[in-house]
Amino acid sequence: MRVGLLGFGTVGSSFAEVLAAQEGAGVRITRIFNRGVERKRSHERARFVPAEAVWTERVEDVLEAADVDVVVELLGGLGPVENWLRAALLAGRHVVTANKQLIAYRGADLFALAAEKGVQLLYGAAVAGGVPVIPGVAQGLSGDRLTRISGILNGTCNFILSSMESGAEYQEVLDRAQAAGYAEADPSADVDGLDARAKLCILARLALHAEIDPEQIPAETIASISAVDFAYARELGCTLRQVSRAELLDGMVSAGVGPMLVPRSSPIAWSHGTRNMVVTSGRFGGDVVFSGHGAGGHPTAVAVLSDVRAIAENSAQVRLPARRMKVVGDAVAPHYLRFVVADEPGIVAAIAGVLARHQVNIDSLLQHRGYPAERLPFVITTEPCLSSKVGRAVAEMAALPFMVQPPLCLQMLVADDPETV
């Protein structure tokens, strides 16, 4: 199986290294496209590339080459990449990609084109890196009727939040993540949930047979989380993680991405560092947990090479139907409300009055000593209710004169959820 490689960055060079370590893989790199090709070809990691491979700065030299059977795309983004892969499929070449944005936004059209041309489009590395959740769901769980998927789909956020458990503040840990190469200079796609929701759309199409637009999924940032939230979460028997969830609900999909309080008994709470975790819930097979390293060149390269080898072995791709579904961001759940106030009499009564007007019941109130009166944090948890109700109450409470900063509102995973058993 002759590979034309688009991109020789972290994942591309790792793919070459992983392939070079395989004996009898039946796969060979014949062409590599990259900008600044001389710099790439002289890099020490180029030693993993066969000496006879052709390096080029013209993508056509890969897409139109007679010695390329499968195009492996490791560049990312939409832009020209979509057109390049369409050209590869139209030319009757298989395509393997790790491009989550492309599969989330353009996947349906590209899958139809691949089927029309009788070739395969595989994307096992697009979600959870080296964790085989894509083939696991497509092949191992295709006999079940999956109703819900949930978990941790962004290794950067998981590194930040699990590191904050020791008491560190958000910015301190973000700086550490950027220094370690886990976070980009502009981390917004990760910390604001945009990366995770693209992956959630891919999983929803595969697991729930639901075609949904990423823009319809509510995404909340983790940047508003502070060390004090972990202190209160511990008192509630919880920790905090960025959780992605999608569930079939009356012909629609209830979905969202954002930081949540997670019971420490949940497998989701056990995931630390850059690890990813996906929990599928099936009508007949129950819960299945996928966990492992979701980021990094080597784990991602393993998933890419596994896809190439599947094509080389003529493994049939499981084609699952999907239909367009409406996304509902609202959900019934208990909520965690953290306030920072300038202390004065009547604060709790004022907040309780707002919640009562919006038909939100208080479950508990927590306040730790030792904070200055001019910036006093405390927490209220609610009984299960619609997120939209709590959101309207929080918007009203943000205008109260004693609020030092906007209230933080997070959903709480409940202990009797199947994935918390």
DSSP symbols for 248-296: EETTEEEEEEEEEEEETTSHHHH--TTEEEEEEEETTTEEEEEEEE-SS
Whether residue 306 lies inside any domain: the answer is no
> How far is Cα 348 from Cα 417, in angstroms, rounded to an integer?
31
In a domain, 189, yes or no: yes
Q: How many domains does the chain have?
A: 3
The answer to whether residue 300 sits within a structural domain is no
Residue type at 255?
Answer: A
* pTM metric for this prediction: 0.92
Nearest CA to 260 out of 172, 196, 210 is that of 196
Q: Which pLDDT does position 293 carry in this prediction?
A: 85
pLDDT of residue 207: 96
Burial label for 278, CB within 10 Å (0-12, 13-18, 19+), is buried
Q: Are residues 369 and 389 in the same domain?
A: yes
Residues 278 and 356 in one domain: no
The confidence score (pLDDT) of residue 359 equals 97
Q: Please provide residue 301's backbone torsions phi and psi, each rounded to the nearest 5 degrees.
A: -65, -35
Residue 100 a catalytic site member = no
Same domain for 278 and 138: yes
Query: Is 169 found in the same domain as 288?
Result: yes
Candidates 100, 117, 199, 326; catalytic one: 199
**334 CB-contact burial (10 Å; exposed 0-12 / middle 13-18 / buried 19+):** buried
Q: What is the pLDDT of residue 417?
A: 45
The CATH number linked to 221 is 3.30.360.10
275-282, strands of its sheet edge to edge = 286-293, 275-282, 146-152, 238-249, 252-263, 327-328
* Domain coverage including residue 211: 133-292
Would you say 2 and 69 are in contact if contact means Cβ atoms under 8 Å apart? Answer: yes
**Same-domain check for residues 111 and 248:** no
Are 211 and 175 members of one domain? yes
Q: What is the model's pLDDT at position 415?
A: 54
pLDDT value, residue 421: 36
Mean pLDDT by 10 residues, the chain (421 residues): 96 96 90 95 95 97 96 95 97 96 95 95 93 93 95 95 94 93 90 97 96 95 97 96 95 96 93 93 95 87 95 83 90 96 96 97 95 96 96 97 97 63 36
Among residues 96, 122, 148, the one where a domain terminates is: 122
Domain-embedded: residue 43 = yes
Pair (112, 160) in one structural domain: no
